[in-house]
Amino acid sequence: MKQFRTNDLILKTTTTIIAFVILAFSIYLFLAGHNAPGGGFIGGLMTAAAIVLLYIAFGIGTMARVFKWSSTTLIAVGLLTAIATGIGSFLFKQPFLSHTFGHFHLPFVGDFELATAMLFDLGVYFTVIGVTMTIILTIADDQNEEKSELG
């Protein structure tokens, strides 16, 4: 007899709300890292937690249609961003990885301090998301699973 597929409507509905809350919190943690607890590492971990929650609720098949980026690409993008901020300091005849900051006048925000250390943090952020998702999805997606189910 074919087994019925269980209906986890409550989990899916809660996930669609809570995933956005977790994503907003992760972006807050990422931006707050300069003056408060937080930063690229814990922000990336929280974003990965939101994506893992989506994977738990919807499964790999559905999420593969939503997230087109492979997680190994994210590692490369993050590492390239971090290296580019280091190399960028060569353009101003400064040693490797020297960072600077400046005060800018942004619309709607007013005077705001922008630091190039945030770009390095962005690289950390992407790398942490990529590594975490690669680990979890590699463990979850077993290639021999279908064979063992059939046999």
Nearer to another protein, 39 or 130 (CB): 39
Phi/psi for 105 (5° steps) reads: -105, 105
The verdict on 78 binding another protein (CB under 8 A) reads no
DSSP state of 103: E
* Nearest to 44, CA basis, from 119, 133, 116, 115: 133
> How far from each other are the two terminal CA atoms of the chain, in whole angstroms?
17
Q: Which stretch binds another protein (CB under 8 A): 31-39, 75-83, 109-117, 124-132?
A: 31-39
The verdict on 59 binding another protein (CB under 8 A) reads yes
The verdict on 49 binding another protein (CB under 8 A) reads yes
What CA dihedral angle connects 95, 97, 103 and 108, to 10 degrees?
150
Buried (b) or exposed (e) across 38-65, using 16+ Cβ within 10 A?
bbbbbbbbbbbbbbbbbbebbeeeeeee
Q: Which stretch binds another protein (CB under 8 A): 24-32, 73-81, 99-107, 117-125?
A: 24-32
The verdict on 18 binding another protein (CB under 8 A) reads yes
Q: How many chain residues are in contact with another protein, going by CB under 8 A?
A: 29
Q: Is the Cβ–Cβ distance between 81 and 121 less than 8 Å?
A: no
The verdict on 24 binding another protein (CB under 8 A) reads no
Nearer to another protein, 37 or 102 (CB): 37
What does the binding site for another protein look like in residue numbers (CB under 8 A)?
Answer: 5-6, 11, 18, 22, 25, 29, 32, 36-38, 42, 46, 49, 52-53, 55-62, 136-137, 140-141, 145
